Amino acid sequence: MTAVIEARGLRKEFTVRVKAGRLRREKRVVAAVDGVDLRVERGEMLGYIGPNGAGKSTTLKMLTGILTPSAGEARVCGLVPVPQRTRLARRIGVVFGQRSQLWWDLPLRDSFDLLRHIYRAPAADHATRLRRCRGLLDLDAFMDTPVRQLSLGQRMRGELTAALLHGPEVLFLDEPTIGLDVVSKQAVRSFLADLGAGGDVTLVLTTHDLADIERLCRRLVVIDHGRVVHDGSIEALHARYGSRRRVVVDLDEPVAEPPEGAAVEADGRRLVFTVEGPAAPVIARLAGLPTLRDLTIEEPDIEEVVTRLYLASGPQPHGEPGISPGAP
């Protein structure tokens, strides 16, 4: 497979002023991204997550040519993002949940038309892509509405369309479901799942909504204090942070003594066990209970695993995370 995104030792420093005493402020250098290595193959759907301030948006900005790295190197579609930004813009699509690439006072239809001219996209390709987005994202009811009158969910569907009309190879999405209601979230997720399933577009997604990740991404890169702390499948994450399944057993009659002796909750007729690793041996033993009515296995909760990971990665040993004294 060919890598569409390659980053080595990617670093971004910002100089900030911090309080140093009652009146004094001194300059500090903050490493927002602190040596990120990343390789993403064509057609992958990558979740890029981390706590607030971890460096996700800064990484995406460097990969899309908005910010110049302080050190390290990156190539996206074989191009160096900042110096080759114009060429790169034709090959990638970007959706930043909080910002818009649409014209506020124009109807959605006109924004799409303008984008066709800006990208000099062939009319037929543009029309085919627009037709597909209109169908999958249900745009028809508000194609003639000025963008400023759209709801957040409608606008996000417009943003996704706008990012895709020139046929990008890589789509960068920064919080694409932020603030959306349940229905719009589902619409956006299934659209992205459909897009990813085609295998032509590579998706890189940052989100705080882990349901986005579970639905869309097989690979997860977790960043904290500017550094990658996990890169692998969601299953690998569960394995590494000791995820436990819950086995819930409902009985016809209460038992005095839980059969396994290790039930975490025993509430009359309901017993709950936590199981690390394969659940089969526990289930086999419980299945023999004469009063067994029902047995369910609850899969580990990704939120819980990720919380554990964030806590484990913790602050760095010296002072504030990622901060070093700058030049005077």
Residues that bind ligand ATP (CB under 6 A): 14, 16, 30, 32, 50, 52-58
Rg of the Cα atoms in the chain: 24
Rounded to a whole number of angstroms, the minimum distance from the CB of residue 208 to ligand ATP is 6
Residues whose CB is less than 8 angstroms from the CB of residue 53 and which lie 6 or more positions away in sequence, other chains included: 32
131 membership: H or E segment, kind and range? helix 123-137
Q: Which is nearer to ligand ATP, 185 or 225 (CB)?
A: 225
Rounded to a whole number of angstroms, the minimum distance from the CB of residue 88 to ligand ATP is 20
Rounded to a whole number of angstroms, the minimum distance from the CB of residue 52 to ligand ATP is 3
**DSSP labels, 178-227:** TT--HHHHHHHHHHHHHHHHTSSSEEEEE-S-HHHHHHH-SEEEEEETTE
Rounded to a whole number of angstroms, the minimum distance from the CB of residue 253 to ligand ATP is 50
248 membership: H or E segment, kind and range? strand 244-251
Q: Which is nearer to ligand ATP, 58 or 184 (CB)?
A: 58
CB-count exposure of residue 318 (10 Å: 0-12, 13-18, 19+): exposed
What is the maximal distance between C-alpha atoms in the chain? 76
Q: Which is nearer to ligand ATP, 14 or 241 (CB)?
A: 14
Measured in whole angstroms, the distance separating CA 208 from the mean position of its chain's CA atoms is: 7
Q: Which two tokens stand for residue 30?
A: 């903050």
Rounded to a whole number of angstroms, the minimum distance from the CB of residue 72 to ligand ATP is 15
Q: Which is nearer to ligand ATP, 36 or 162 (CB)?
A: 36
- Is the CB of residue 324 less than 8 Å from the CB of residue 29? yes
Q: Which is nearer to ligand ATP, 68 or 296 (CB)?
A: 68
Q: How many CA atoms are closer than 13 Å to the CA of 231, on its beta-carbon side?
A: 8
Distance, CA of 273 to CA of 268 (rounded, Å): 14
Q: Which is nearer to ligand ATP, 30 or 234 (CB)?
A: 30
Rounded to a whole number of angstroms, the minimum distance from the CB of residue 35 to ligand ATP is 14
Q: Which is nearer to ligand ATP, 32 or 121 (CB)?
A: 32
Q: Counting every residue, how long is the chain?
A: 328
Rounded to a whole number of angstroms, the minimum distance from the CB of residue 179 to ligand ATP is 13
101 membership: H or E segment, kind and range? none
- Is the CB of residue 258 less than 8 Å from the CB of residue 294? no
Q: Which is nearer to ligand ATP, 177 or 243 (CB)?
A: 177
Rounded to a whole number of angstroms, the minimum distance from the CB of residue 298 to ligand ATP is 28
